[in-house]
Amino acid sequence: MANIGRGLMTIAGAVLGFWPGAATAQPFPGGLPACLAGLDVCNADLAARTTSLAACTAALNANSTSLATCRTSLEACGADLATCSTGLNTCDADLATCASTLNACDTSLTTCTADLSTCQAAPAAAASQFPASGQTTCWDSSGAVVDCNSTGQDGDVQAGAALSYTDNGDGTITDDTTKLMWEKKSADGSIHDVGLVYSWAQAFGHVAALNLMGFGGHSDWRLPNVRELQSIVDYGQHLAPTVSAAFNNNCGPGATPTILTGSCTAAPSINSSYWTSTTVARAPGAALAVIFWDGLVTEVSKGLTGSRYVRAVRGGS
């Protein structure tokens, strides 16, 4: 045991360099203090590196989180970009449609402008004009036909809108100038027969019957006033009746047209006049009537039974 103790001491002394008689060479320069100091430095460096490693790890983790966030943001941005691209395509399509609509609008505006210019340059609408008399011939004081040029006669001036009528194909005729719609007269024994005559009161009864039956699809027929009835006189006609062909066709002797196949006007004599709704102001027991023999206006007693013809009218302004 004593030998073992001495051996350990010898080893320790050798290691620590202070055993008496030991060699002066040192296995650790500076000895144990230097070794411990180096170990402290190493430990401090290790601690610093450990701290740096922890910081690096934390930074790496933070960068990883940032990278994940960035990746999520990038994916969201990609989705937004896709949505934006779709919206842009839709916008482009809408823009194309808008451009097309704008072009169509421009075209319509151009057409409208042209129509407006034409309308502004055109004379007053026919509906606002007074009908012409229809007369285009001129005569001197002895009744001889003369050149109308510079005479100032009706046939020279020809004031008003030209007489123009449209057969509506339903038993009615529309005056293209006044826009009045007239009842056609037939020769078939119907309610429209040209040969039927009435007193003034009975004339209103005829109009009421037309309204009751809804003639021509209308129920606002009335007896014309004297100016309205005179508006269909054609003062250029040399032979009775003094009306345009629209009011007198396919109605000669022996013909029996309906209001759909012909048009009649009674004018065999000076007494063949048509009632108006206009009363003679100075003689209220009489009403004015238009004679389609020559277009004159005459006075007829309202109580004269079965004496005059009737042609109903509707419309006007």
**pLDDT tens profile 150-207:** 999 999 999 999 999 999 999 999 999 999 999 999 999 999 999 999 999 999 999 9
53 pLDDT above the threshold of 70: yes
Rounded average pLDDT over 94-120: 80
Q: How far is CA 151 from CA 29, 136, 161, 236, in A?
A: 153, 12, 20, 17
* Closest C-alpha among 140, 310, 158 to residue 234: 158
pLDDT tens, 131-147? Answer: 898 899 999 999 999 99
Confidence of residue 102 (pLDDT cuts 50, 70, 90): confident
Q: How far is CA 183 from CA 164, 177, 194, 196, 211, in A?
A: 16, 16, 11, 14, 12
Which range is least confidently modeled, 92-96, 130-134, 235-239? 92-96
Q: Categorise residue 17: left if φ over 0, alpha if ψ from -120 to 50, beta otherwise.
A: left
How are strands ordered across the β-sheet holding 172-175?
165-167, 172-175, 181-183, 313-314
When comparing pLDDT for 35 and 283, which is higher? 283
**CA–centroid distance for 246 within its chain:** 37
290 pLDDT above the threshold of 60: yes
Q: What is the pLDDT of residue 27?
A: 56
Three-state DSSP class for 166? strand
The β-bridge partners of 314 are: 181
216 pLDDT above the threshold of 50: yes
Tell me if 220 sits within 8 A of 181, measured CB to CB.
no
Q: How far is CA 191 from CA 21, 41, 171, 181, 300, in A?
A: 168, 136, 12, 18, 23
Q: What is the pLDDT of residue 5?
A: 52
Q: What is the pLDDT of residue 156?
A: 92
208 pLDDT above the threshold of 90: yes
Q: What is the pLDDT of residue 111?
A: 85
Helix (H) or strand (E) holding 39: helix 31-121
CA distance 288 to 249: 26
Residue 9 DSSP symbol: H
Rounded average pLDDT over 94-103: 82
Tell me if 15 sits within 8 A of 27, measured CB to CB.
yes
In percent, the amount of the chain with pLDDT more than 90 equals 49
Confidence of residue 260 (pLDDT cuts 50, 70, 90): very high
Domain limits of the chain?
124-162, 168-314
Q: What is the pLDDT of residue 293?
A: 87
Q: What is the pTM of this model?
A: 0.60
- Residue 280 is encoded by which pair of tokens? 């003679």
Helix (H) or strand (E) holding 274: strand 273-279
pLDDT tens, 10-52? Answer: 544 444 444 444 444 455 567 777 777 877 888 888 788 788 8
When comparing pLDDT for 129 and 126, which is higher? 129
CA angle 209, 215, 217 (to 5 degrees): 140
Q: What is the pLDDT of residue 220?
A: 97
Confidence of residue 126 (pLDDT cuts 50, 70, 90): very low
